[in-house]
């Protein structure tokens, strides 16, 4: 990956909907050359997918929370991960080190929906404890840092 590929990735990171022509102009290459570079970045797995970023507040999802989970040591944790992945409210599941075993991010409409989610999570066999932290506001959120 050369500097042009890094520039392409940084542009796409900020605007995945940029036209191929505009992207080519920004990196000073022909549109076919840029299209080929993007194809190679996708084929190599560096670009995994393109996403639309939705505003949860405008869609009626007023609460975002982080949930820390501890699990029993004698269980198969992939079963817990699969069970958690089935909940549509949970937007991210991280297997972490430290005092907790999993860190989840969830987005719900209100406190009642959060209560219901926490009740369903607590019914998963092997969950030892949970702690929930309410996200008050987001100061910075990027899925990946700038390519250097």
Q: What residue spans in the chain does CATH classification 1.10.10.10 cover? A: 3-43
Q: How confident is the model at residue 5 (pLDDT cuts 50, 70, 90)?
A: very high
Class of domain 63-134: alpha beta
Q: What residue spans in the chain does CATH classification 3.30.70.920 cover? A: 63-134
- b or e along 108-136 (b: 16 or more beta carbons within 10 Å of the residue's beta carbon)? beeeebbeebbeebeebebbeebeeeeee
Q: What is the value of pTM for the model shown?
A: 0.82
User: Would you say residue 76 has pLDDT above 70?
Assistant: no
What pLDDT, on a 0 to 100 scale, did the predictor assign at position 42?
Answer: 97
Class of domain 3-43: mainly alpha
């Amino acid at each position: 990956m050369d500097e042009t590929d890094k520039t392409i990735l940084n542009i796409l990171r900020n605007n995945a909907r940029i036209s191929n022509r505009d992207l080519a102009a920004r990196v000073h290459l022909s549109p076919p050359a840029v299209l080929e570079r993007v194809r190679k970045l996708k084929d190599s797995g560096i670009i995994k997918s393109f996403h639309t970023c939705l505003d949860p507040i405008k869609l009626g999802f007023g609460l975002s929370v982080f949930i820390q989970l501890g699990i029993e040591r004698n269980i198969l944790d992939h079963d817990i991960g699969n069970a958690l992945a089935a909940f549509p409210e949970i937007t991210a599941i991280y297997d972490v080190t430290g005092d907790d075993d999993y860190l989840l991010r969830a987005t719900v409409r209100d406190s009642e929906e959060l209560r219901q989610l926490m009740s369903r999570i607590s019914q998963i066999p092997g969950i030892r404890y949970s702690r929930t932290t309410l996200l008050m506001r987001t100061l910075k959120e990027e899925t990946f840092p700038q390519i250097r």
